[in-house]
């Protein structure tokens, strides 16, 4: 298998449009991790991602008949731009189906290359199903974003360049994973030449289809409603059939990271390159950092593929807010202090010279007050030490650093209370951020239940976030949950969340 793919990679036609991108040392990240980190800068391609390689290699080998009928593709954005640019260069009519949650910067870029854009569904799988229908109806040729040997070979030229550019033999290569085209191509080439080099995939929580497949020993399809769309470029429910054939044999490990870690990695890439990568683009760096922090295996050097830089500008608000948490530079704590003169001064003295990034105060009655505090830290261990020090001084502390409801909603709502002491159930919702989504949500709620609390928040994230309180008691929980399921959005009950009970109840 490897020899066949290496031949296809060596013969791949990509450089009519793609450029050989640099393998650049990340000085700041290398110093922090104690690992010589090299970044493969695929964000410097003409379409700001590696996808131009596979799409052009595929389309350049099409017959004249296929070219005359036109092509169709489904994509979260980067493959779409690659197909659109390749089609423009080759004189082929292109139709691209994209999810309605696709960042506008990607949609506009595709249209700028002259391709027709069809927005359908809330993610790649819905877009792909619709594209397949159009393929049959209009006699078009489908250009798959990952599960195609020619596409895989085109992406594999990234691995060829890494091998050629590395001063020695790379010890490990970290690769972002969506459908698996990039990691399959890189693994095929790198493992053929350097079998001992570790090829490590990195996936986002909620889209870890390769991890699921590796664990099960077969391809697994993740529920569409559970897919995380923050790293939209890798939001795929099932690893490709052809890509999994390669990955299951030649990928050594898969690391799964969360949104905070991805945001922290975006900041790391920016500090070393002054370039803003998209969430999927920084995935490999996030995985490298987690691998170094959690695995016993020591690395002396590693390559991380920066796969793209197509990020909506308004999403930067969300990224910057979460980056400090992902970098272990901020902890979110709920602390109870005495409601008496000098108690705040005593609390600050206990913290010492630590910086405070946020401070929300709420009188709790019985001579006590609850504080929602953002605390500047230097590491995960420093966070544990800060909590331990406060507890030793007698302060009740709840660490809410990993509490989504606390970070997304409660920090902006401290001060509100259920003044009538009525029974209340609290739920947190997520839905794809697209026109009409909030209206659909509110229409679904209707007037059957009395709403006691409502907080909607979105600032460039892939999801709209809503926190809703309902006038209902435990005996009505089952009936209410069945009602909410009909709306069709993901939700979690937060009635027992300590952030809610300390600051809002």
Q: Tell me the residue range of the domain where 449 lies.
A: 410-503
Question: 180 and 287 share a domain?
Answer: yes
Phi, psi dihedral angles at 251 (to 5 degrees): -95, 125
How far CA 344 is from CA of 351, 370, 413, in Å, comes to 11, 11, 21
Task: Point out the catalytic residue in the list 207, 235, 277, 307.
Answer: 307
316 CB burial (10 A radius; 0-12, 13-18, 19+): middle
Note whether 425 and 431 are within 8 A (CB). no
Q: What per-residue confidence (pLDDT) applies to 128?
A: 87
Tokens of 278: 């998209």
Note whether 279 and 262 are within 8 A (CB). yes
Helix axes 2-11, 149-165, angle to 10 degrees: 80
Counting as low any pLDDT under 50, the low residues of the chain are none
367 is catalytic: no
How far CA 131 is from CA of 50, 139, 192, 354, in Å, comes to 22, 11, 35, 54
Q: Number of structural domains, the chain?
A: 4
- According to DSSP, residue 394 is labeled T
- According to DSSP, residue 380 is labeled H
CA distance 150 to 165: 23
The CATH number covering residue 247 comes to 3.40.50.1100
Q: Which residues pair with 94 in a beta bridge?
A: 71
Question: 119 and 196 share a domain?
Answer: no
Instruction: Estimate to the nearest angstrom the gap between the alpha carbon of 186 and the chain centroid.
Output: 21
Question: 204 and 303 share a domain?
Answer: yes
68 is catalytic: no
Taking the CA atoms of 472, 478, 480 and 481 in sequence, report the sign of the dihedral they define.
Answer: positive
Residues 6+ apart with CB under 8 A from 83: 55, 59, 71, 73, 75, 94, 96, 115, 143
Q: What per-residue confidence (pLDDT) applies to 362?
A: 67
Q: Out of 270, 304, 325, pick the residue that ends a domain.
A: 325
Taking the CA atoms of 105, 108, 112 and 116 in sequence, report the sign of the dihedral they define.
Answer: positive
Question: 259 and 396 share a domain?
Answer: no
Question: 418 and 395 share a domain?
Answer: no
What are the pLDDT digits (tens) for 361-418?
Answer: 766 666 777 888 888 888 888 888 889 989 998 899 999 988 888 887 887 776 555 5
Residue 273: count of CB within 10 angstroms of its CB? 18
Q: What per-residue confidence (pLDDT) applies to 414?
A: 62
SS3 state of residue 301: strand
Closest of 303, 244, 313 to residue 276, by C-alpha: 313
Q: Out of 402, 423, 450, pick the residue that ends a domain.
A: 402
Closest of 201, 194, 155 to residue 174, by C-alpha: 201
Question: 357 and 382 share a domain?
Answer: yes
Question: 177 and 302 share a domain?
Answer: yes
What are the pLDDT digits (tens) for 152-179?
Answer: 999 999 999 999 999 999 999 999 999 9
Q: Which residues pair with 361 in a beta bridge?
A: 371
Phi, psi dihedral angles at 346 (to 5 degrees): -60, -40
Question: 233 and 379 share a domain?
Answer: no
Tokens of 21: 């991108």
Tokens of 14: 């990509």
Question: 310 and 433 share a domain?
Answer: no
H or E, element range at 74:
strand 71-75
Q: Which residues pair with 370 in a beta bridge?
A: 336, 362
Task: Point out the catalytic residue in the list 8, 51, 191, 289.
Answer: 51
The CATH number covering residue 396 comes to 3.40.1020.10
Note whether 152 and 4 are within 8 A (CB). no
Q: What per-residue confidence (pLDDT) applies to 459?
A: 58
Question: 106 and 234 share a domain?
Answer: no
Q: Out of 274, 293, 325, pick the residue that ends a domain.
A: 325
Question: 39 and 122 share a domain?
Answer: no
Question: 228 and 357 share a domain?
Answer: no
Give the pairing of strands 356-365 and 368-376: antiparallel
């Amino acid at each position: 298998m490897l020899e066949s793919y290496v031949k296809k990679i060596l013969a791949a036609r990509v450089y009519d449009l793609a450029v050989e991108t640099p393998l650049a040392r990340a000085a700041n990240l290398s110093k922090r991790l104690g690992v010589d980190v090299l970044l493969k800068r695929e964000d410097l391609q003409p379409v700001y991602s590696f996808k131009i390689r596979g799409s052009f290699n595929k389309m350049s080998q099409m017959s004249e008949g296929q070219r005359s009928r036109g092509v169709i593709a489904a994509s979260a954005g980067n493959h779409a731009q690659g197909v659109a640019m390749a089609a423009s260069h080759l004189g082929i009519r292109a139709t691209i189906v994209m999810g309605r949650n696709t960042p506008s910067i990607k949609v506009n870029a595709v249209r700028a290359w002259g391709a027709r854009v069809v927005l359908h569904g809330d993610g790649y799988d819905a877009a792909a199903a619709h594209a397949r229908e159009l393929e049959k109806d209009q006699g078009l040729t489908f250009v798959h974003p990952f599960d195609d040997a020619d596409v895989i070979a085109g992406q594999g030229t990234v691995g060829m360049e890494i091998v050629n550019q590395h001063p020695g033999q790379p010890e490990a290569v970290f690769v972002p994973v969506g459908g698996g085209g990039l990691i399959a191509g890189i693994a095929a080439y790198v493992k053929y030449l350097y079998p001992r080099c570790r090829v490590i995939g990195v996936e986002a929580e909620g889209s870890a289809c390769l991890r699921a497949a590796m664990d099960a020993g077969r391809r697994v399809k993740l529920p569409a409603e559970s897919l995380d769309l923050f790293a939209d470029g890798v939001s795929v429910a099932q690893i490709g059939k052809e890509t999994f054939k390669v990955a299951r044999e030649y990928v050594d490990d898969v690391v799964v990271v969360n949104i905070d870690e991805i945001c922290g990695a975006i900041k790391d890439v920016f500090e070393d390159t002054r370039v803003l990568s998209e969430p999927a683009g920084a995935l490999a760096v996030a995985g490298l950092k987690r691998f170094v922090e959690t695995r016993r295996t020591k690395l002396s050097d590693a390559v991380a593929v920066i796969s793209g830089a197509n990020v909506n500008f308004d999403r930067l608000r969300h990224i910057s807010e979460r980056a400090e948490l992902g970098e272990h530079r901020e902890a979110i704590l709920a602390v109870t202090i005495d409601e008496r003169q000098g108690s705040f001064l005593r609390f600050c003295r206990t913290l010492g010279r630590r910086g405070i990034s946020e401070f929300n105060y709420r009188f709790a009655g019985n001579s006590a007050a609850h504080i929602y505090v953002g605390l500047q830290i230097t590491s995960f261990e420093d966070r544990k030490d800060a909590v331990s020090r406060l507890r030793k001084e007698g302060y009740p502390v709840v660490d809410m650093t990993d509490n989504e409801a606390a970070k997304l909603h409660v920090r902006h709502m401290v001060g509100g209370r259920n003044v009538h002491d009525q029974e209340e159930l609290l739920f947190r919702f997520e839905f794809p951020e697209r026109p009409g989504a909030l209206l659909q949500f509110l229409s679904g709620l209707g007037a059957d239940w009395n709403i006691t609390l409502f907080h909607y928040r979105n600032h460039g994230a892939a999801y709209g976030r809503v926190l809703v309180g309902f006038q209902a008691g435990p005996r009505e929980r089952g009936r209410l949950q069945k009602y909410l399921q009909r709306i069709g959005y993901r939700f979690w009950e937060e009635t027992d969340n300590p952030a809610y009970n300390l600051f809002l109840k």
